[in-house]
Amino acid sequence: MKSTVFAAALIALTVPAVQAGTLENLERERALLIEVFRDAGLSLAERQSRIESTMPRLIDLERMVLRDDSLKGRNTPAVRKAFANYDLTFLAHASAEHRRTALDTWLEQIGMTTAALTSARIGRRY
């Protein structure tokens, strides 16, 4: 009994309570969405359905981040990176703003445009 209490106390002391912030939650949801984009095993309909089901959650999470006052001026790598590119971080809002799909917006932001793909050549890189 005593050892259990001691162990519990030790765990409480050594393991800090980890609470994901708004930004971490957004990044997790965005990562899941990008995974859907990249999943070659999904059919077109399946991908579309999964994207549509993710988008409302992503919109909410993006708004939570944008309204989160605790992030204001917090100079951490994650926050800096998040606000460095609005279109990439706030993918749902940026795509709705540009009246494009989230996939198109994402591909454009990472440099995979139609023009870039059509002008690409197959070859060996030395």
Q: In angstroms, what is the minimal distance from the CB of 19 to other proteins? A: 18
Close Cβ partners of 51 (under 8 Å, ≥ 6 residues apart) = 33, 36, 37, 101, 102, 103
Q: How far apart are CA 31 and CA 46, in angstroms?
A: 18
Q: How far apart are CA 84 and CA 6, in angstroms?
A: 46
- Dig out the tokens for 53 from the structure: 């089901």
Of 42, 88, 96, 107, which lies in the binding site for other proteins, with binding defined by CB under 8 A?
Answer: 96
Question: Is 99 a residue that touches other proteins (CB under 8 A)?
Answer: yes
Question: Is 86 a residue that touches other proteins (CB under 8 A)?
Answer: yes
Tell me which residues touch other proteins (CB under 8 A): 52-53, 55-57, 59-60, 63-64, 66, 71-75, 79-80, 83-84, 86, 90, 92-93, 96-97, 99
